[in-house]
């Protein structure tokens, strides 16, 4: 807030390219695109760590006790630490930075037609705090006692007392890292919201804003609104861990269930915080490659707002077996089932967008389509978990695990790949190789289903989460079940190997890819008006003005099948 | 600042960008303090004995501190008034008066903490005192941050007669901190 | 115009001070008249929390200028408050119990005598009244 510059006059020299050193251009830059890349690459680096963790503990589950290549023997405490930090990293240090921070930073100013975020230095500060949080988290793996192993939900008393979790340094460091990360995204989120509210291009009305910007902004609002109680809870838990207070200690009058409420009041909206940007990205890609107007722009928008509001009324469905009052469980079951309605509206609107379109199966489009299919599986399996009756059986089994991976994988991984394949030309000015992209796509999607479909069956058969070695449990050690585990693990290794073509494609295309030009996909939104890659200040030919909605494809009044938002036209068709 | 950014000068909502961001900061603070106060209230309702603990808190010092904060809110709104008239001298004067009262608040807070700790009521005595120190500590931290930012604005901006709107922005934050205290005061001191 | 807004601020400040004094006097009066239980609650709740809400409203409306601010800002703040109320009552139906069908919390409320474990510092009680 201390960032506001006084200018109410726009200076002409604002897209002046200064002589910049490497440090001032790439490390301490206040340019929103560079900060977006910093978030993107930090997120990808953390994704590699999180994926490596997944590989190690899946190998332990498939071949218990044997030495894992590139790791060694997995001890029980190392196993706990690996699963905990896999979850934490994938949500807080991969999904959040890539989908909200990287995409928000890169897309919002470009799509609403302005030259930067409204608070560029706050933006840089938010990345620096985020980077610090990642460093604290990684450092926590190397302190005595190892990284925190009390699950990403950090329920006390396991998380509160070192005598239970045996990680006297790992647990507080984990909590501090999460708190820093939250601070970073609060700063970033306020910046996104303010930018989208105030800095829109001339002529851009509320319903001319591309849906992905809406989604990122609504997600930032949800994040801000849900995370506050967790900040308070994190302070309390940190005092419990380090100072010896008893906020969450039942024997001294505290209440461990209170932490669960503080956590899940954040934790459930958080699902929608990462879902919405991915939904928005998919909507952009689908409109462009189906060459059709988004079906029901306002309907999707209102459904999103409804989803956001409802998401604050469902959190206790994570606590059906935590001693929640059955009458409350009834209430939360109802709201949980209700929340599938807005999501279903959105998915149907997307399918209706595809209907009758001239669909181009680019890699980005393939990923977008697979998002719908995979997320549908994740959503439908959630019905069983949202009903308090069936949840009592399925709670904490691999069914839950498979369910939320079928939601988070499409969100965090498929959503990210959709965005990267679609906006890569804009980010780096060159096209990615489509053939290798498609190889990457099919390898990833088939292997992904190979990992998590078996886990549904394992979960329904009663296999619990967070168990180090199933051979110790005769009911779960049968050959059939072990075969499924081995199958899932091999699928995981295959999926990880299929990321190599992506990385090579990404790096090689930086130098060798076909020049993209301004608008390779013939899309309408404002970021395609800027040169690729956009220079500092984004729009060297003057700030664009907006004359129509973002999805005017195949308009009858026009010969081209697309009509960019900034091209003056005879009329201004209202975006109904 | 290398150069001026167009985005900052735009205002599609009609609210200046800085003030709009402060409103969102205040909203996020409502959630942080709201979560803490909700947790405290739930415990308070559950534990009847906390009323006796609340009777131990020093209503006199709490009351004086309320007075400091109310008065400082008044001063900062006067500073805002003079900043709109571009009167640098009086704006700075009232900003520093606000900081002074914030300092009084912190001073009395420390005296109060000292008395309580020397009487054996520490962060660890029981959960009431844990909540007491966490809530007042978090609030005190916000007061301290507000004082520092206000000093920077007074000496960095107003002295050089620029960024006048920052006076209003810090004022909004300061009033919010005051409002939090308005609720903490009855919660921790009066209700017993 | 300018003088008017200063006068308005002064009036609000005086009103805040009066309300503040009333809120502090509430429990003192209850003590003087030896009110206990319900009548004490009936006095303290409005004087403490009713006045706190009025004071917060006055600061927000006049000092923060919410009355004249664009409609976005009050909506942002009201929605925030409403969500905290949702949080409070959502949690309340769950954790406001010390025992259930098959469980009870191990913690027992200290009784009147054991609660004053700072009894040897009774002078601190005297400071307050």
Cβ–Cβ below 8 Å for C107 and A313: no
Name the packing angle between helices A256-290 and A103-111 (round to 10°): 50
Residue B9 lies in a domain: no
Q: Does A253 touch chain B (CB under 8 A)?
A: yes
According to the 3-state scheme, what is the secondary structure of chain B? CCCCCHHHHCCCCCCCHHHHHHHHHHHHHHHHHHHHHHHHHHHHHHCCCHHHHHHHCCHHHHHHHHHHHHHHHHHHHHHHHHHHCCCHHHHHHHHHHHHHHHHHHHHHHHHHHHHHHHCCCCCCCCHHHHHHHHHHHHHHHHHHHHHHHHHHHHHHHHCCCCCCHHHHHHHHHHHHHHHHHHHHHHHHHHCC
Interface contact A258-C83, CB threshold 8 A: no
Give one DSSP letter per residue of A108-136, joined into a string. HHHHTT-SS-S-HHHHHHHHHHHHHHHHH
Q: What is the pLDDT of residue A14?
A: 43
User: Is the CB of C81 less than 8 angstroms away from the CB of B125?
Assistant: no
* Predicted confidence (pLDDT) per residue in C110-125, tens digit: 765 444 444 444 333 4
A478 inside domain: yes
Report if residue B106 sits inside a domain: yes
Q: Which of residues 29-88 of B touch C (CB under 8 A)?
A: 30-31, 34-35, 38, 41-42, 45-49, 52-53, 55-60, 63, 66-67, 70-71, 73-74, 76-78, 81, 85
Query: What length is written for chain C?
Result: 129
Tokens, residue A244: 């010896």
* Interface B:C, Cβ pairs < 8 A: 150
Residues of chain C in contact with residue B73, where contact means CB-CB under 8 angstroms, are 59, 63
Higher-scoring residue by pLDDT: C42, A356: A356
Domain of A463?
Answer: 34-528
| Nearest residue, CB atoms, C56 vs list B35, B55, B182 | B182
Distance separating alpha carbons of residues A517 and B148, to the nearest angstrom? 49
DSSP 8-state symbol, A412:
I
A91: which residues sit within 8 A by CB, 6+ positions away? A152, A270, A274, A408, A412
Q: What is the DSSP string of chain C?
A: -HHHHHHHHHHHHHHHHHHHHHHHHHHHHHHHTT--HHHHHHHHIIIIIIHHHHHHHHIIIIIS-TTTS-THHHHHHHHHHHHHHHHHHHHHHHHS-SB-SS-B-S-----HHHH-TTGGGTHHHHHH-
Average pLDDT over residues B86-104: 95
C30 touches B: beta carbon within 8 Å: no
Name the residue of chain C whose CA is nearest to A256's CA.
C95
Q: What tokens were used for A403?
A: 């369910």
* Residue ranges of domains in chain C: 1-64, 69-96
* Among A197, A229, A316, beta carbon nearest to C94: A316
**Sequence-ordered list of residues with C-beta below 8 angstroms from that of A32, at least 6 positions apart, any chain:** A105, A106, A108, A109, A116, A117, A120, A123
Nearest CB partner across the interface for C87, out of B38, B120, B176: B38
Query: Can you give the pLDDT at residue B36?
Result: 95
A476: number of Cβ within 10 Å: 18
pLDDT at position A10 is: 40
Q: Among all chains, which residue has been given the structure tokens 């050959």?
A: A479
Cβ B79 vs Cβ B94: under 8 Å = yes
Predicted confidence at residue A394, as pLDDT, reads 93
Domains in chain B, number: 1
| CATH number of the domain to which A381 belongs | 1.20.210.10
Are A426 and A351 spatial neighbours (Cβ–Cβ below 8 Å)?
A: no
CB contact B90 to C (< 8 Å):
no
pLDDT tens for chain A, 576 residues: list them.
Answer: 333 333 333 444 444 445 567 777 788 888 999 999 999 999 999 999 999 999 999 999 999 989 999 999 999 999 999 999 999 999 999 999 999 999 999 999 999 999 999 999 999 999 999 999 999 999 999 999 899 998 999 999 899 988 888 899 999 999 999 999 999 999 999 999 999 999 999 889 889 999 999 999 999 999 999 999 999 999 999 999 999 899 998 888 888 889 999 999 999 999 999 999 999 999 999 999 999 999 999 999 999 999 999 999 999 999 988 878 788 888 899 999 999 999 999 999 999 999 999 999 999 999 999 999 999 999 999 999 999 889 999 999 999 999 999 999 999 999 999 999 999 999 999 999 999 999 999 999 999 999 999 999 999 998 999 899 999 988 888 888 999 999 999 999 999 999 999 999 999 999 999 999 999 999 999 999 999 899 988 999 889 999 988 999 988 888 888 899 988 875 555 554
Q: How many CA atoms lie within 13 A of B13 on its CB side?
A: 21
Which is more confident, B46 or A173?
A173
User: Is B24 touching C (CB cutoff 8 A)?
Assistant: yes
CA C115 – CA B52 distance, rounded (Å) = 8
Among the listed residues A454, A430, A450, the one whose alpha carbon sits nearest the alpha carbon of residue A497: A450
Q: Which residues of A390-420 are buried (b: 16+ CB within 10 A; e: fewer)?
A: ebeebbebbbbbbbbbbbbbbbbbbbbbbbb
Name the residue among A426, A412, A311, A422 with its Cα closest to residue A371: A412
Take residue A271 and report the two structure tokens written for it: 């699902």
Q: Which chains touch B (3 or more CB pairs under 8 A)?
A: A, C
B116 lies in a domain? yes
SS (H, E, C) A372-395: HHHHHHHHHHHHHHHCHHHHHHHC
Write the DSSP assignment of A216-277 as a string of letters.
Answer: HHHHHHHHHHHHHHHHHHHHHHHHHHHT---TT-GGGT--HHHHHHHHHHHHHHHHHHHHHH
CA distance A63 to A461: 20
In a domain, B11, yes or no: no
Indicate the pLDDT class of residue C127, thresholds 50, 70 and 90: very low
- Please indicate, yes or no, if residue B10 is contained in any of the structural domains: no
Q: What is the pLDDT of residue A296?
A: 92
- Both tokens of residue A458? 């394992």
Task: Chain B: give the shortest CA distance to residue C103, in Å.
Answer: 16
Give the separation between CA A221 and CA B50, rounded to whole angstroms.
Answer: 36
Alpha-carbon A430 to chain mean position = 25
CATH number, domain with residue B58: 1.20.120.80
DSSP class of residue A63?
S
Q: Which residues of A276-315 are buried (b: 16+ CB within 10 A; e: fewer)?
A: bbbbbbbbbbbbbbbbbbbbbbebbbebbebbbbbbbbbb
Domain count, chain A: 1
pLDDT at B19 over 50: yes
CB contact under 8 A, C90 and A319: no
Cβ within 8 Å, pair C9-B74:
yes
Beta bridge partners of residue C18, listed in sequence order: none
Amino acid B124: pLDDT: 86
Note the pLDDT of residue A3.
36
Q: Please tell me the predicted confidence (pLDDT) of residue A2.
A: 37
Residues of C within 8 A of B172 (CB-CB) are 64
Residue A68 DSSP code = B
**Chain C residues with a Cβ under 8 Å from any Cβ in chain A:** 72, 79-80, 83, 86-87, 90-91, 93-95, 97, 100, 103, 105-107
CA dihedral (A562, A564, A565, A569) positive or negative: negative
The answer as to whether B123 is a domain residue is yes
For chain B, how many residues are written?
A: 192
From the CA atom positions of chain A, what is the Rg in Å? 24
B179–C contact, CB cutoff 8 A: yes
**Domain that residue B43 falls in:** 17-190
Mean pLDDT of chain C: 79
pLDDT of residue C8: 92
Q: Does A258 touch chain B (CB under 8 A)?
A: yes
Closest Cα in chain C to A323: C94
Residue B71 to residue C13, Cβ atoms within 8 A: yes
Q: Cα angle vertex A121, ends A50, B174, to 5°?
A: 105
Helix (H, G, I), strand (E, B) or coil at A31: coil
Residue A544: inside a domain, yes or no? no
User: What is the pLDDT at residue A567?
Assistant: 87
Beta bridge partners of A562: A553
| pLDDT digits 0-9 by tens, C73-105 | 999 999 999 999 999 998 888 887 777 777 777
CA atoms within 13 Å, Cβ hemisphere of C5: 15
Angle at A124 between CA A119 and CA A127, to 5 degrees: 125
Residue from the list C86, C100, C107 with its beta carbon closest to the beta carbon of A312: C86
Q: What is the DSSP secondary-structure string of A532-566? A: SS--TTS-TT------S-TT-BS-TT-SSSB--TT
Residue B190 CB burial class (10 angstroms; 0-12, 13-18, ≥19) = buried
Residues of A in contact with B43 (CB under 8 A): 253-255
Question: Residue C1: pLDDT above 70?
Answer: no
Q: In this structure, what token pair is assigned to residue A169?
A: 């340094």
Angstrom distance (rounded) from CA A340 to CA A407: 13
Nearest one of A204, A199, A36, A26 to A109, comparing CA atoms: A199
Chain A: residue whose CA lies nearest to B42: A258
Strand partners, A397: A464
Q: Is B5 inside any structural domain?
A: no
- Check pLDDT > 70 for residue B109: yes
| pLDDT of B143 strictly over 90 | yes
Q: Which residue has the tokens 């933006």?
A: A123
Q: What is the rounded CA–CA span in Å between residue A534 and residue A512?
A: 19
3-state DSSP assignment of residue A576: coil
Dihedral angle over CA of A435, A439, A445, A449, nearest 10: 160
Q: What's this model's pTM, rounded to 2 decimal places?
A: 0.91
Residue A317 lies in a domain: yes
In angstroms, the CA C29 to CA C33 distance is 6
Closest-CA residue of chain C to B122:
C118
The answer to whether the CB of C72 falls within 8 A of the CB of B12 is no
Residue A549 lies inside a defined structural domain of this protein: no
In a domain, B172, yes or no: yes
Task: Give the number of A-C residue pairs with CB atoms closer than 8 Å.
Answer: 47
List all chains that touch chain C, counting a touch as 3 or more CB pairs closer than 8 Å.
Answer: A, B
Sorted by sequence, the CB contacts under 8 Å of residue A130 that are 6+ apart come out as A39, A42, A97, A101, A180, A181, A184, A185, A188
Instruction: Please name the residue of chain C whose CA is at the shortest distance from the CA of residue A324.
Output: C94
Mutation for testing the C interface, residue in B22, B59, B74 having most C CBs under 10 Å: B74
pLDDT number for residue C123: 38
pLDDT score, position C115:
43
Contact between A217 and A192 under an 8 Å Cβ cutoff? The reply is yes
- Tell me the C-alpha distance between A506 and B5, whole Å: 32
């Amino acid at each position: 807030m201390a960032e506001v510059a006084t200018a109410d006059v726009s200076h002409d020299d604002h897209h002046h390219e200064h002589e910049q050193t490497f440090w001032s251009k790439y490390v301490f830059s206040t340019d929103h695109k560079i900060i977006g890349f910093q978030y993107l690459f930090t997120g990808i680096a953390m994704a590699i760590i999180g994926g490596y963790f997944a590989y190690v503990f899946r190998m332990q589950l498939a071949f218990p006790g044997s030495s894992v290549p590139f790791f060694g023997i997995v001890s029980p405490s190392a196993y706990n630490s690996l699963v905990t930090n896999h979850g934490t990293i994938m949500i807080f240090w991969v999904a959040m930075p890539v989908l909200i921070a990287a995409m928000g930073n890169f897309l919002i100013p470009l799509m609403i037609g302005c030259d930067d975020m409204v608070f560029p230095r706050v933006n840089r500060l938010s990345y620096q705090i985020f980077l610090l949080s990642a460093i604290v988290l990684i450092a926590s793996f190397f302190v005595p006692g190892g990284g925190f192993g009390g699950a990403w939900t950090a329920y006390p008393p396991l998380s509160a007392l070192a005598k239970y979790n045996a990680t006297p340094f790992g647990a507080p460091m984990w909590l501090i890292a999460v708190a820093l990360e939250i601070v970073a995204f609060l700063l970033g989120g306020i910046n996104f919201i303010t930018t989208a509210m105030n800095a829109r291009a001339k002529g851009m009305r509320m319903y001319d804003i591309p849906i992905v910007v809406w989604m990122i902004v609504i997600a930032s609002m949800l994040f801000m609104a849900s995370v506050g109680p967790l900040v308070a809870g994190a302070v309390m838990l940190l005092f419990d861990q380090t100072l010896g207070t008893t906020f969450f200690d039942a024997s001294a009058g505290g209440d461990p269930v209170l932490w669960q409420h503080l956590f899940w009041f954040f934790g459930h909206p958080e699902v929608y915080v990462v879902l919405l940007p991915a939904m928005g990205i998919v909507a952009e890609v689908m409109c462009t490659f189906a060459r059709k107007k988004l079906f029901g722009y306002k309907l999707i928008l209102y459904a999103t707002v409804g989803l956001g509001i409802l998401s604050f009324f469902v959190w206790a469905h994570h606590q059906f077996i935590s001693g929640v009052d059955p009458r409350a469980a009834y209430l939360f079951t109802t709201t949980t089932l209700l929340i599938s309605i807005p999501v279903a509206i959105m998915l149907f609107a997307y399918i209706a967008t595809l209907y009758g379109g001239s669909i181009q199966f680019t890699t980005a489009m393939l990923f977008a389509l697979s998002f719908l299919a995979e997320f549908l599986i994740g959503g439908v399996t959630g019905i069983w978990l949202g009903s308090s009756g069936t949840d009592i059986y399925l709670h904490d089994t691999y069914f839950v695990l498979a369910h939320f991976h079928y939601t988070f994988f499409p969100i965090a991984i498929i959503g990210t790949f959709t965005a990267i394949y679609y906006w890569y030309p804009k980010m780096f000015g060159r096209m990615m190789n489509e053939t290798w992209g498609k190889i990457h796509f099919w390898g990833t999607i088939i292997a992904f289903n190979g990992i998590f479909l078996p886990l549904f069956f394992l979960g329904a058969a009663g296999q619990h989460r967070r168990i180090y070695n199933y051979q110790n449990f005769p009911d779960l050690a049968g050959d059939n079940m072990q075969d499924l585990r081995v199958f899932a693990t091999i699928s995981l290794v295959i999926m990880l190997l299929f990321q190599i073509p992506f990385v090579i494609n990404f790096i090689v295309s930086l130098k060798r890819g076909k020049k993209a030009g301004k608008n390779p996909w013939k899309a309408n939104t404002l970021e395609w008006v800027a040169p690729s890659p956009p220079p500092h200040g984004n729009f060297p030919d003057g700030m664009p003005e907006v004359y129509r909605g973002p999805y005017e494809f195949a308009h009858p009044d026009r010969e081209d099948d697309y009509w960019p938002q900034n091209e003056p036209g005879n009329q201004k068709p209202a975006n109904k | 600042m290398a150069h001026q950014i167009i985005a900052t000068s735009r205002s599609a909502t009609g609210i200046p960008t800085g003030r709009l961001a402060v409103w969102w900061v205040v909203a996020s603070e409502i959630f942080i303090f709201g979560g803490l106060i909700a947790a405290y209230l739930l415990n308070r309702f559950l534990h009847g004995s906390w009323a006796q603990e609340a009777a131990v808190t020093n209503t006199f010092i709490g009351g004086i501190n309320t007075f400091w904060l109310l008065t400082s809110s008044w001063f900062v709104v006067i500073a805002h008034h003079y900043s709109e008239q571009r009167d640098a001298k009086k704006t700075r004067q009232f900003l520093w008066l606000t900081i002074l009262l914030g300092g009084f608040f912190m001073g009395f807070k420390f005296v109060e903490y000292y008395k309580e700790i020397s009487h054996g009521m520490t962060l660890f005595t029981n959960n009431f005192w844990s909540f007491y120190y966490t809530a007042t500590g978090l609030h005190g931290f916000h007061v301290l941050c507000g004082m520092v930012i206000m000093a920077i604005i007074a000496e960095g901006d107003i002295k050089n007669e620029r960024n006048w709107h920052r006076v209003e922005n810090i004022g909004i934050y300061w009033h919010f901190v005051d409002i939090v205290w308005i609720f903490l005061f009855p919660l921790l001191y009066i209700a017993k | 115009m300018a003088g008017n807004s200063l006068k308005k601020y002064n009036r609000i400040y005086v009103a805040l001070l009066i309300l503040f004094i009333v809120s502090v006097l509430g429990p003192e009066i209850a003590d003087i008249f030896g009110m206990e239980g319900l009548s004490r609650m009936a006095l303290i709740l409005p004087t403490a929390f009713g006045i706190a809400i009025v004071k917060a409203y006055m600061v927000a409306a006049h000092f923060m200028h919410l009355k004249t601010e664009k409609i976005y800002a009050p909506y942002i703040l009201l929605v925030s408050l409403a969500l905290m109320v949702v949080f409070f009552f959502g949690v309340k139906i769950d954790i406001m119990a010390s025992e259930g069908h098959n469980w009870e919390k191990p913690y027992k409320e200290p009784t009147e005598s054991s609660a004053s474990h700072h009894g040897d510092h009774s002078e601190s009680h005297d400071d307050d009244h």
